[in-house]
Amino acid sequence: MPVTIKSALKNIKDIYMSDTSLATLLSFERVIDELDVYVFKNWRLGELVEGPIYEKYFITATFMWPYEDMPEPRGGEQLLRHNCTVTYKKDLMEMPVHVESEADFKPGTKMPKNKKVPVWLVTISMPKKLIVDIEDGVYSESSNDIENSHGQEIDNDSYKLGESVITESKFGDLKRLVTPILTVDVYTSEVGADRNVIVLGIPVLEKEAAVDIAEFAEKSYDWVLDADASDVVNSENGEFMVFIELSRNPSAPENIYSFVSDLLNLTDQKMVDWNFVYYKSKQKLPLSIDNLRDTIILSPERYAQLTKKPHRAIDTEQKKHITNTAKIGQRGK
């Protein structure tokens, strides 16, 4: 269905009737400005036609450009570097024709006929975290990371963030936030000896989403021994890690597969999108119960023998160090 002048004007009217929507749109525009998108050709010519649309972790808006004035793609690349998604689409805009004769009116009316004009529609989905942190002045451009505000609370009401509880999420709320790769036995356990505990790791692009997933895992599955989210970015890709610990036993493959299956309801992904890596191997394997069963060492005795590691618990100082560095230490380093 083509965009119409009427629908665009109604969207603008709705924004001006809502203080929250207007404030959100101004903050949305501020992020675009702060990331220097407007230095690229034609980006200032965009006109809002839809949005802001609120999702659990993102705010989305669609802008329109005349077909001959396509915004330079390098401006969109600026947004992609900061975990936004940018979608370009060729479309048609219904506009009234210039009236020159009676033939230009709709039959029986004095309303001009419409014509379809080619346009570019650019849809931008922006993380709420990015909007809030730029608004609060805690965004670090040089590191592409968000600095820790040391207890500073985000004003959720300003952006309709609501409670951060994954059980209240809807299908697709975690879309674009969860990287479909699972690490198994790559990290060291915080709750017991490695021979007895399997540690899973899941990369997530937003801290709030990582916390949600960890809380969901801990509250929803009785086989989860512990679940936690890292407090700082753990990789060059700007990802946080969710760590989930479970007992090393024959039921582990089915439990792991069940958890990922449930997670798919929120990520809008398919199981064929998911892979896993095991221990020191860099090989990515398709995530399936059979592959998990064939790869993971499920016997504590066999694990201790093959890894040649002593059976030891983590002492208090090590736990403190792990907490302070906000990640579980990687094995073999």
Contact 113, 96 (CB under 8 A): yes
Give the DSSP letter string of 103-127: GGBPTTSSSBPEEEEEEEEEEEEEE
- Tell me how far CA of residue 278 lies from CA of 8, 178, 240, 258, 295, in angstroms: 51, 19, 19, 18, 7
Q: Which residue has the tokens 């705010």?
A: 59
Asked if the peptide bond before residue 203 counts as cis, ω within 30 degrees of 0, the response is no
Question: For residue 238, is it left (φ>0), alpha (ψ between -120 and 50) or beta?
Answer: left
Q: With CA atoms as reference, report the closest residue to 215 among 242, 241, 191, 240.
A: 242
Would you give the end-to-end CA distance of the chain in angstroms? 56
Provide the H-helix boundaries in 175-307: 207-220, 252-267, 289-295, 300-307
Sign of CA dihedral 126, 129, 130, 132: positive
Neighbour order of strands in the sheet with 285-286 = 224-229, 240-247, 197-204, 181-184, 275-278, 285-286
* Per-residue model confidence as pLDDT tens for the chain (333 residues): 556 666 777 777 777 677 778 888 888 999 999 888 998 899 999 999 888 888 878 899 999 999 999 999 889 988 988 888 899 999 888 878 888 888 888 888 888 888 888 999 999 999 888 888 888 776 655 434 333 322 333 333 333 333 333 444 444 567 778 999 999 999 999 999 999 999 999 999 888 889 989 988 998 899 999 999 987 766 566 788 999 999 999 999 999 999 999 898 888 889 999 999 999 888 999 999 999 999 999 999 999 888 764 333 444 444 444 444 434 444 333
Cα angle 122, 123, 129; round to 5: 135
CA dihedral 263, 125, 24, 118 (to 10 degrees): -140
pLDDT given at position 167: 41
Task: Please state, as a whole number, how many other Cβ atoms lie within 10 Å of the Cβ of residue 250.
Answer: 9
Task: Please state, as a whole number, how many other Cβ atoms lie within 10 Å of the Cβ of residue 87.
Answer: 12
pLDDT given at position 326: 39
Contact 126, 79 (CB under 8 A): yes
